[in-house]
Structure 1
Amino acid sequence: MAKIIGGLGTSHVPSIAVAIDKGLADTADWKPFFDGYIPARAWMADKKPDIAVVIFNDHGNAFFLDQVPTLAVGVADSYRPIDEGWGPRAVPDFPGAPEFSWHLVDTMVENHFDPLVCRELEVDHGMQVPMELFFGRPEAWPARVVPILVNTIQFPIPTPQRMWDLGLVLRKAIASWDTEETVAILGTGGLSHQLQGSRAGFINPEADRAWIAEIGDNPEKYRNMTREDYVEVFGSEGAELIMWLVMRGAMDEKVHTVHSHYYSPASMTGAGMVVLENSEA
């Protein structure tokens, strides 16, 4: 059967893409952030997963506020990087894994999840940035992707427990996928930030560092928080962190942290990542 080789959590800040495109990765403002991902990129190059399941949120690009699915899954053969308003980026199209995507959708429905099924989908920085941070900028992506899109833009957003339960279903789908393929799961979003309202510019580095340190060993703390707790602690946009719970829920109860990194601020956010492996891996 297919095997989960690791769970990765990461920010997907759009200014990261700008920094990459403008060659700013080695500047004083950005080098500490990008250097922190070097061990994670080496881990990915060593593990060479066949499939990357990427959990992210669309930012009003593929879906707008008039039609926002709570959950969506891509089943396409490939996914084009979407133009977010400043022109198409020089990012290769992402090859899909449609057979596994359909298996995942069927497993979700069997377990009482009802995703929007996307036979065509363009993907924004929510997928682009995590893939670049962990795989670099290859001529062709070495792993096929399965996009899982979660509404964290327009309330009501899903509960943390619901995201954890989705992770359990994802685990079940991978365990029942009758191949020898290896799978890396990328939970994306956050860390703390708020882009509007009276707390615009809010970040919480202390809570961010606790999240990075505890998401592996103490996930119950975060699955038991309410949606309102996430907004209060991490900011209205920092509530994206619920998507990391899909990744963590798919992993074993016991995991170990291989790499972690935190940098603040990256643009108007706290930013960072974690690489987890199951304890018996």
Structure 2
Amino acid sequence: MARITAGIASSHIPAVGAALDNGKTAEPYWAPVFAGYDWVKRFEAEEKPDVVILVYNDHASAFDANLIPTFAIGCGEEFRPADEGWGPRPVPVVEGHPDLAWHIAQSCILDEFDMTIINQMDVDHGLTVPLSLMFGQVAAWPCRVIPLAVNVVTYPPPSGNRCWALGEAIARAVASYDEDLNVQVWGTGGMSHQLQGPRAGLINTPWDTRFLDWMTANPQALRHMPHIDYLREAGSEGIELVMWLIMRGAMGEAAAELHRFYHVPASNTAVGHIVLRPA
């Protein structure tokens, strides 16, 4: 059967993608950011996942105010990099896994999650930057990817508890798929940041550090953290961290931390990254 072997969470900062694409990774400002992902690149080369279920949020590339799905799963054959206003990123086309994606969609819907099924969409930096950070600059991504887009842009976003429960439903779906596949679940976005208003540029390092700690030490507190706590402590865009809880829910009740990285600043936010193994 298919099995979930690891969970990875990471920020998906667009400026990180731009730095990578424009050859700035060795510059003093950016070098510490990219050095923080050397460990996970080695890990991924050893683990060789067949499929990554990549949880991210779209930034008005595939969806806009006319269509706002809470949870949307990409079931297509491939997903092209989106043009976010300055041309698509020079990265490989994302190859999907339609059979597993449709199985997850069916399983989750019958498990009482109303998933939106997407067969054609472009994917923006929310998805492609994490792939670049974990796999580097490659001619083709080394595994299939199932995009899972979450609305954390327009109120109301899903609760942390609902995201966790979706992760549990995804884990059940993967376990019931009868092909031998090494599957990872990634949660992306965050950490604390705010892009507008009087608190633009907010970074709350103590809160971010506690969030990373609680991914293993106190996950139930994260599961039930209300939206207002994200807004107050992590800024208006800090709500992206609920997407990490889909990954965390898929790990099961207990998970072991294999690696973490935290760095300030990268653009106008902090970089957060953690790698977990189901216990």
Cα deviation, 1:42-61, whole Å, max 9, x if unaligned, reads 10110000000000000111
Report the CA distance between 1:89 and its aligned residue: 1.8
How far does the alpha carbon of each residue in 1:172-198 deviate from its partner, in whole angstroms, 9 at most, with x for none?
011101011010111000000001122
Shift of 1:252: 2.5
- 1:1-281 aligned at under 5 Å gives the runs 1-279=1-279
Q: Quick one: distance in 2 between partners of 1:269 and 1:142?
A: 29
Partner secondary structure for residue 6 of structure 2: strand
Deviation at 1:116, TM superposition (A): 1.4
Separation (CA, whole Å) in 1 of partners of 2:114 and 2:237 = 24
Offset from partner CA, 1:177-231 (integer Å, 9 cap, x none)? 1011010111000000001122111110111111122212321111111111111
For 1:167 and 1:233, how far apart are their aligned partners in 2?
24
- Structure 1 alignment gaps of length 5 or more: none
Structure 2 spans left out of the alignment, 5+ residues: none
State the distance in 1 between where 2:213 and 2:266 align. Answer: 19
**Distance between the aligned counterparts of 2:95 and 2:21, measured in 1?**
21
Higher mean displacement: 196-205 or 147-156: 196-205
| Contact 1:191–1:271, Cα closer than 8 Å, also in 2 | yes
**Secondary structure of 1:128's match?**
helix
- Conserved? CA contact 2:168–2:252, under 8 Å: no
Q: Deviations over 1:221-246 (max 9, x none)?
A: 11111111111111110110000000
How many aligned residue pairs are there?
A: 279
Q: Distance in 2 between matches of 1:97 and 1:247?
A: 18
CA–CA distance in 2 between the matches of 1:198 and 1:122? 33
SS in 2 for 1:123: coil
Equivalent pair of 1:69/1:151 in contact (CA under 8 Å): yes
Q: Secondary structure at the match of 1:216?
A: helix
Partners of 1:239 and 1:270 lie apart in 2 by: 14
CA distance in 1, matches of 2:265, 2:77: 37
Tell me the alpha carbon deviations over residues 155-179 of structure 1, each in whole angstroms, 9 at most, x when there is no partner. 0111110000100101001110101
The residue identity in structure 1 corresponding to 2:85 is G
Counterparts of 1:180 and 1:217, CA distance in 2: 31
Q: Distance in 2 between matches of 1:3 and 1:40?
A: 20
> How far apart are residue 108 of structure 1 and its match?
1.1
Q: Separation in 2 of the partners of 1:26 and 1:257?
A: 28
Amino acid at match of 1:193: H
Amino acid at match of 2:105: V
The code of the aligned residue for 1:167 comes to G
> Aligned partners of 1:214 and 1:155: how far apart in 2?
25
Give SS of 2:217's match.
coil
What's the TM-score, normalizing by structure 1?
0.97
SS in 1 for 2:26: coil
Moved over 3 A (4+): none
